[in-house]
Structure formats: structure tokens, C-alpha cells
Chains A and B, each alone.
Chain A
Amino acid sequence: MDDLYREIIIEHYKNPSYRGKLEPHDIAFADSNPLCGDHIEIQLRVNPEGRITDARFDGHGCAISQASADLLLESIIGKTLDEVKQLNRQHVLDLLGIELGPVRMKCALLSLKVLKAGVYGLGSADDSLVEE
């Protein structure tokens, strides 16, 4: 079990630090994984220099999708929007520290997809945002 549900994933799933709403916020975006119904909404507060000062996520889904959202937000506080645009799927996989098959990969990458779609100001989130 250690390989897939590392303690860090269970911990962030059960006791997330960044779950909730951020009012007011500067950027917000939400998307779902139609396959399993996972849903993630992300809100960001950005200072005039374009640096992320706070972030929150809300939503529901499996442990992988929710823990990866919490870990991802933790990792972007203090980063600039340009830096966030450079994040790729490996960043999320490094945070999770596990190997994932193609089905669970979608759960893990949903939060990054939502984050990047919001930061880029896109109308919809596309898988190309989290390609290798």
C-alpha cells in the first residue's frame, strides 16, 4: 500500500491546509474529470508584482485528486504566475512521490490543469496544459 497511498497523501487528503474559499480573489477556475466525477475549484490571490500570495481549493473526489490539489497549492505560494505557467506534470508527480497509471494520472493532474487554465485566463481547461 505504501507505493500508492503514502502517508503524505492520506495526510493531505484527510487534513488539507488549503481547502476552502478565498474572498476576495484575483483568479478562479474550476473543472471536473468526467470519468470519475472529481471536481476541483482553485482561487488565487496575486500581488501587483504577479506573485501568488495565497491560494485555496475546493471540490470533491478521490484521495489522489484532493491531496494533489493541496500539495500543489502549498508549492506555489510565493511563485510568480510566469513560474506557474512553467509547471509540468512531473512537478505534481514529484510532490506525490508515486508512480501512477494512465487512469489515476488524470486524477493527479486535475488540479494542475485547473491552476494553469486559471493562470492563463483560458475559457476551458485542456489536457494539453499538463502534457509531458
Chain B
Amino acid sequence: MPFDVLRVRQDFPVLGREVRPGVALVYLDSTATSQKPRQVLEAMDAFYRRSNANIHRGVHTLAEEATAQYEEARARIARFIHAPSPRQIVYTRNTTEAINLVAYAWGRAFLKPGDRILLTEMEHHSNLVPWYLLAQERGLTLDFVPLTDDGHLDLEAYRQRLSDAPRLVAFTHMSNVLGTINPAKEMIAQAHQAGAIVLLDGAQSVPHFPVNVQELDVDFLAFSGHKMCGPTGIGILYGKMHLLEAMPPFLGGGDMIKAVHLGSFVPNEVPYKFEAGTPAIAEAIGLGAAVDYLEQIGMEAIAAHERELTAYALERLEEVPGLHLLGPQAGEKGGVVAFTLDGIHPHDIAQVLDHYGIAVRAGHHCAQPLHERFGIPATARASFYLYTTREEIDKLVEGIYQVKKLFG
């Protein structure tokens, strides 16, 4: 079935709304969070209306149904990223919590003073601050792979920093500001040769193009449900089994234990030892439905659609006088376009665009070191997904001309 963006749009109720009477929504902020198709909303609604119960406890019908749906979703998510086993899929709240889980459980257990962690200048704060906290606590040394002026990682510098034998390398698969898609497979292989394990931040890659954890040979992969048509409050940590098994538990509480006695406990097996307390059950089921939805449309088709849109957007935006684009050229990046306009603060750009119903993000997008690298406090950012159209990009460009007119 060929990709039909207008048919896709009919699945997303919010895309039909007006921001104000007569002003249609142009949603260009999917990198912050994606919109949700009715298939996901209906799956969550059906769970609450029919099967709501706590999981892994109780033998009544509803508890069995809830547990089955929760675990089926885990299996679908495992298949989606080609994980060998659903047991390697740990439910978290989001990418941030998945990365923190590795920092706390793996980092505290296996890193010692003087050990090095290698990060990059293009990371989201969620893949920086957990390591800063761990470094402070454990006396670790942090290194950073620098960026080139055109928004790529400096891979020569990466190889040099690997010679310092970092224990862990953590980097983003795709930058949430520059859109740069990093050569993860090659970088992971080089890190492994240097003796490091690798955590890949997949928050922007898993929603937008096919990601195969076995082909990448990645040790940990973290991503969020809400950026891939799923609900907020659910994220995933994938890990290699031997690493997950060696790690101590993360949070303590119910469900993460096999047995509890006065003064001692026996941890549950992987992945349950990392899932303390009643989890986001409906949200996990919603993410399972999101994965089904994306697979049914096809991740290759989605990626192709976004590539075409990004090329078109860059071509149109390059024509605008005084507009400066950040990041690589079309063909080397995903559907994220960050830009500045001479003499106009990004907040003002976003505010004026909102007047025309156009939703973009303004600020440092939780990547302050990246903005410092390019010597700018903030950017405006438009981002695309499977439901974005060329007409919406035309509206963005028209809106930018209105911004320039107002402040000109």
C-alpha cells in the first residue's frame, strides 16, 4: 500500500482542530512530542473500559487480561527493535529514566574512581546530567566528542578519545536540534574494540527510521513512547541480557522482588527487577498499539516521507534572507530543522508563528552545550513526522516572512 499522508492524517484527531476560529493547526513540533493516532487512544480507552486491573498479581479475569496485554505490548516493542527477547525490554517512564537507570544501576555497580565516560557535544541534557551526577558521586572523568561546523560528530576526535579507554560511550542516534544521524553501527564497533560498552539515545531515531539493536550490536538503547505516536509516561530501556542480569535493581518496591523477608529481599528476574511498583499499564498497552500502527504504515515509508519533506523544507528555507540553518544538509539528517533569524529572538519567531496556527519550538531544546558550541543562546525548531505535509512547510515559510515583516 503506497504511503498516503492525507489518509495518515485522518488517523490523528488533533490535526483536524483549529487553534483559533478559522486558524488551522500546523503542528511542527513532533521532536518534542508526537501526536497520537486514534488506534492508540482507542487501545488505552478499551483497556480502561474493559480490562483495568493491576498486573502480575491476582488471578481474576481482569488481572489476567491486564497482565497479558501488558506483556504482549512488551513482545511487540521487542520485535519492533529486533530485540532477541521481550525480557530485554525494560519499561521506564521515558528516555530520561532509561538513561538514569543505566547510570544508577550499571554505573554505580561497575564504575570506579578514575574511570572515563565518553559523551558528545550534541547530547540532550538527559544524556548528560545523569552522567554528571554519577561522575560527581564516583569520581569519574567525562570526555566529549566535539562537533564539526556543519553539525557532524568529529569522528577522528572520537577515535582519539576512544584510545583513552572509556568504560562507557553514550551518544545520541539522532540530534534533536541538528537532525544529524550519527553512524551508530560504525561508532559502536569502534567503541567495542576499545573495550567500552555503548548506550545509544534512540529518542529521535526509533520513532523515525528502522532501528535494529542486533545489527547495531548496541549494549543499551533508550527511547520514549510519546515521541513515536504513543502516550507520555512510558519509555523503554533495551539492554543486552548479560548486562541486565549483572546489574543490581534500580528502584525498590513491589514487583521487583522474588521474596521479601524482615531485613532482606531476593530480587526478581530481568526485566521485572527494574520495574518497581505499579507501572504505567495503559501507557504500555498504548505504546504497543503505537508500534503496531507504525509497523503497519512501515518505518521505511515513514523515513522516506520525512527525507523528502526535509529536503523540501531546507530548499524553501534557504531562500529566506537573514535565515540561518543549523546542522547538516538534506540527505544527512532527519526531519528536524533548527534556524535563527537575524535580529529576531526565537521566542518571538515562535510566538508570531503561533498566531498563524504554526507550532514550532523555541529555546535551547534541552541541548545547551550544543548551542554554546555554535555561539547562540537559542534557536527556533520545526520538526516533521509521518503526518506532516508540504503545504505545512509552505505555511511555515509564509509565516517566517510575516515574522520578518513585523520585526523588520
Interface residues of A in 72-127 (CB under 8 A from B): 104, 107
Q: Which of B212-220, B242-250, B343-351 is found at the contact surface with chain A? A: B343-351
Interface residues of A in 27-46 (CB under 8 A from B): 35-38
**In the assembled complex, how far is the CB of residue B128 from the closest CB belonging to chain A, in whole angstroms?**
15
B377 touches A60 (CB 8 A): yes
B378 touches A63 (CB 8 A): no
In the complex, A16 has a CB within 8 A of chain B: no
The listed residue (B347, B363, B364, B406) touching A64 by CB distance below 8 A is B347
The listed residue (B352, B364, B377) touching A1 by CB distance below 8 A is B352
Complex: A60 Cα to B343 Cα, angstroms: 11
The listed residue (A4, A14, A35, A38) touching B351 by CB distance below 8 A is A4
Interface residues of A in 1-16 (CB under 8 A from B): 1, 4-5, 10, 14
| Closest Cβ neighbor of B356 among chain A residues | A1
Give the number of residues in A that approach B within 8 Å (Cβ atoms). Answer: 16
| Closest Cβ neighbor of A63 among chain B residues | B348
B377 touches A4 (CB 8 A): no
The listed residue (A5, A37, A62, A104) touching B364 by CB distance below 8 A is A37
**Known: A1-B355, A36-B378. Is A10-B406 also a contact (CB below 8 A)?**
yes
| Closest Cβ neighbor of B408 among chain A residues | A14
8 inter-chain pairs at a CB distance below 8 angstroms, sorted by A residue, are A1-B352, A37-B364, A60-B345, A61-B345, A62-B346, A63-B347, A64-B348, A107-B347
| Closest Cβ neighbor of A107 among chain B residues | B347
- Which B residues are CB-close (under 8 A) to A60? 345, 377
Complex: A62 Cα to B403 Cα, angstroms: 13
- Which A residues are CB-close (under 8 A) to B377? 36-37, 60
Q: A4-B351, A36-B364, A64-B348 are in contact. List 11 more A-B contacts (CB 8 A).
A: A1-B406, A5-B348, A5-B352, A36-B362, A37-B363, A62-B347, A62-B348, A63-B347, A63-B348, A64-B347, A64-B351
- Which A residues are CB-close (under 8 A) to B346? 36, 62
B355 touches A63 (CB 8 A): no
**Known: A35-B363, A37-B364, A37-B377. Is A10-B345 also a contact (CB below 8 A)?**
no
- Which B residues are CB-close (under 8 A) to A10? 406-407
Secondary structure at the B interface, as helix, strand, loop or mixed, is: helix
From B347, B362, B363, residue with most partner A Cβ within 10 Å: B347
B407 touches A104 (CB 8 A): no
| Closest Cβ neighbor of B349 among chain A residues | A62
**In the assembled complex, how far is the CB of residue A1 from the closest CB belonging to chain B, in whole angstroms?**
5
- Which B residues are CB-close (under 8 A) to A37? 363-364, 377-378
**In the assembled complex, how far is the CB of residue B196 from the closest CB belonging to chain A, in whole angstroms?**
32
Complex: A107 Cα to B362 Cα, angstroms: 13
**In the assembled complex, how far is the CB of residue B360 from the closest CB belonging to chain A, in whole angstroms?**
14
Complex: A80 Cα to B347 Cα, angstroms: 34
- Which A residues are CB-close (under 8 A) to B351? 4-5, 62, 64, 104
Complex: A63 Cα to B347 Cα, angstroms: 8
- Chain A, residues 47-64, CB within 8 Å of chain B (1/0): the string is 000000000000011111
Interface residues of B in 367-408 (CB under 8 A from A): 377-378, 406-407
A36 touches B347 (CB 8 A): yes
- Which A residues are CB-close (under 8 A) to B378? 36-37
| Closest Cβ neighbor of A14 among chain B residues | B407
Complex: A38 Cα to B348 Cα, angstroms: 12
Complex: A104 Cα to B351 Cα, angstroms: 9
Complex: A107 Cα to B355 Cα, angstroms: 18
Complex: A5 Cα to B344 Cα, angstroms: 13
Complex: A38 Cα to B363 Cα, angstroms: 10
**In the assembled complex, how far is the CB of residue A17 from the closest CB belonging to chain B, in whole angstroms?**
19
- Which A residues are CB-close (under 8 A) to B355? 1, 4
- Which B residues are CB-close (under 8 A) to A62? 345-348, 351
- Which B residues are CB-close (under 8 A) to A36? 345-347, 362-364, 377-378
A-B pairs, 9 with minimum CB distance = A37-B377, A62-B347, A62-B345, A63-B348, A62-B348, A36-B363, A37-B378, A1-B355, A36-B347
- Chain B, residues 35-60, CB within 8 Å of chain A (1/0): the string is 00000000000000000000000000
- Which A residues are CB-close (under 8 A) to B348? 5, 62-64
**In the assembled complex, how far is the CB of residue A59 from the closest CB belonging to chain B, in whole angstroms?**
11
| Closest Cβ neighbor of A103 among chain B residues | B347
Complex: A64 Cα to B352 Cα, angstroms: 12
Complex: A4 Cα to B402 Cα, angstroms: 14
From B345, B355, B406, residue with most partner A Cβ within 10 Å: B345
**In the assembled complex, how far is the CB of residue A6 from the closest CB belonging to chain B, in whole angstroms?**
11
Complex: A10 Cα to B377 Cα, angstroms: 21
Interface residues of B in 128-178 (CB under 8 A from A): none
B406 touches A5 (CB 8 A): yes
- Which A residues are CB-close (under 8 A) to B406? 1, 5, 10
